[in-house]
Structure 1
Amino acid sequence: MAAATVLRHFTPISSSLKPPSRHHRRFLHHSLFPKLPSHSPPSLLKFGAENSEPQPPPSLPETDCPVPPEQQPINEYQSLSSSFPFSWASGELVEYSSRLFLTGASFAFFVGLPVSWFGSVGPEYEPVKRILAASSSGIFVVTLAVVRMYLGWAYVGNRLLSATVEYEETGWYDGQVWVKTPQVLARDRLLGSFSVKPVLTRLKNTLVILGLSLILVVNLGNSPIASSYKTYKDPRDRSSMPIPGAYNDETARTFEPEAFCGEPSSDEPSSDLL
């Protein structure tokens, strides 16, 4: 009896245990390795290259805009800022001024000066007046160019700052009006305030300077100062002629040199006095 008890204590433990059943193994697996919940965010389960894929860009504000692309204010602004000569106004101040000066000087030299010099009677008698007339023509042409630029920039600026956009679908007879979305309105007004308004201010100042210059040149051309500079005496100038009805030997020789041919001048002593 005692021997049987001792042998039972020294019997291997594995021989006294039964292998776990299938249900028991499933319970242990679920207890030690719980399943991840299905509602976990997919971003936590993606690793490597799958998580670095670029996302599609958000839709543009003009996606639902019925206005044709060429009539949208943002596209009109881009087209105007890169076209000739409207792009001059949005450039650097030195470049803008030099282009206007070269335009006016070229027109005055190649067009205004030949017309004023050869298109009038006796231009060689008053060269200063002819040069001032050519300069005024150059200033006038530059003024027209600046006015054209101002009208174009003012039109685009009004469309950018306005809350509505007028457009044509197929022709001039079917005009429509589109109300801008908050995103488009904020972007257009920001662009109009910080990009278009400075250009309009520059063009206004240019028009004032050109207008004052044109008035100054015209007044100088009509002043006696410009008429006083002559290369030689103008035969049409009758300021030195004697009073009508009084005889003057010098005037008679000017109009009838043949009648005094062979006769002594007033400077030579007369033979009757000898």
Structure 2
Amino acid sequence: MRQSSIQVCPVPLEQQPVNEYEELKESWFFRWATLDNRLFVRKITLIWIIGWLISSPIAAASFSPSKSALPFVLFSNLGAGLVLALILLQLFFGWHYVSDRLKKATIFYEESGWYDGQTWPKPPEMLTRDRLIVSYQISPILGRLTRTVGLLALLMAGDSLLWLYL
């Protein structure tokens, strides 16, 4: 009976890319990107509202809401957009990191500490499995996050242009 090369992998379990993917998928924060559209939009909207609540007192100190309502709203929107952008970028970079680890033909790992890094070439069946995970599971997540960041950038650019023409 032939022993699978996946079983003789010297990489510690917590550093194997497929296990990093599973851990990311089950994480309370990074799981947001895997939710269905309705729940994803709800989470993003909640973060935007929290960002608005954080940035609106700062905006109110600069622009009185009763005297300068439009600058107050625009500044609050830009602040909320910045908070949301930071959250979305954290999501994107986390998923992108795991995607890169899965796509590579070798696994970089540390045996006992930061000073003794090793690389291990993935066997063909592991490389195929990992690249299928990237293609069918992670690429749609990265696409969704890219589109969301793009839409947020457009909205913030619109706010900024409106700000310039006040």
Counterpart in 1 of 2:55?
A: 112
Give the drift of 1:59: 6.3
For residues 28-50 of structure 1, what are the alpha-carbon distances to aligned partners after superposition, in whole Å with 9 as ceiling and x for unaligned?
xxxxxxxxxxxxxxxxxxxxxxx
Q: Give the SS at the match of 2:112.
A: coil
Q: What aligned pairs does 1:91-170 form with structure 2 within 5 A after superposition?
A: 91-108=35-52, 110-117=53-60, 119-120=61-62, 122-170=64-112
Give me the whole-angstrom Cα distance separating, in 1, the residues matched to 2:82 and 2:12: 37
Q: What aligned pairs does 1:1-274 form with structure 2 within 5 A after superposition?
A: 61-108=5-52, 110-117=53-60, 119-120=61-62, 122-224=64-166
**Max Rg structure:** 1
Q: Percent identity?
A: 35
Q: Over the residues paired in the alignment, what is the CA RMSD in angstroms?
A: 1.7
The residue identity in structure 1 corresponding to 2:24 is: L
**Contact 2:11 2:109 (8 Å CA) reproduced:** yes
Change (3 A) 1:121 1:202: closer
The residue identity in structure 2 corresponding to 1:66 is: P
Give the drift of 1:221: 2.8
Change (3 A) 1:122 1:192: closer
Give the drift of 1:174: 0.6
Give me the whole-angstrom Cα distance separating, in 2, the residues matched to 1:59 and 1:83: 32
State TM-score, norm by structure 2: 0.92
The residue identity in structure 2 corresponding to 1:111 is: I
Give me the whole-angstrom Cα distance separating, in 1, the residues matched to 2:3 and 2:76: 57
Give me the whole-angstrom Cα distance separating, in 2, the residues matched to 1:133 and 1:61: 57
For residues 125-174 of structure 1, what are the alpha-carbon distances to aligned partners after superposition, in whole Å with 9 as ceiling and x for unaligned?
10121022111111111111111111111110111111110001111111
Give me the whole-angstrom Cα distance separating, in 2, the residues matched to 1:60 and 1:217: 57
| Greater relative CO, 1 or 2 (CA 8 Å, sep 6+) | 2
The residue identity in structure 2 corresponding to 1:223 is: Y
**Contact 1:105 1:135 (8 Å CA) reproduced:** no
How many residue pairs end up in the alignment? 165
**Contact 2:63 2:72 (8 Å CA) reproduced:** no
Q: Which runs of 5+ in 2 are unaligned?
A: none
Give me the whole-angstrom Cα distance separating, in 1, the residues matched to 2:128 and 2:54: 48
Q: Give the SS at the match of 2:6.
A: helix
State TM-score, norm by structure 1: 0.57
**Contact 1:165 1:177 (8 Å CA) reproduced:** yes
Give the drift of 1:74: 0.7
The structure whose residues are more often helix, as a share, is 2
For residues 172-193 of structure 1, what are the alpha-carbon distances to aligned partners after superposition, in whole Å with 9 as ceiling and x for unaligned?
1111000111221121111111
Give the drift of 1:223: 2.5
For residues 88-118 of structure 1, what are the alpha-carbon distances to aligned partners after superposition, in whole Å with 9 as ceiling and x for unaligned?
111211211121111111220x21112211x
Give the drift of 1:123: 4.5
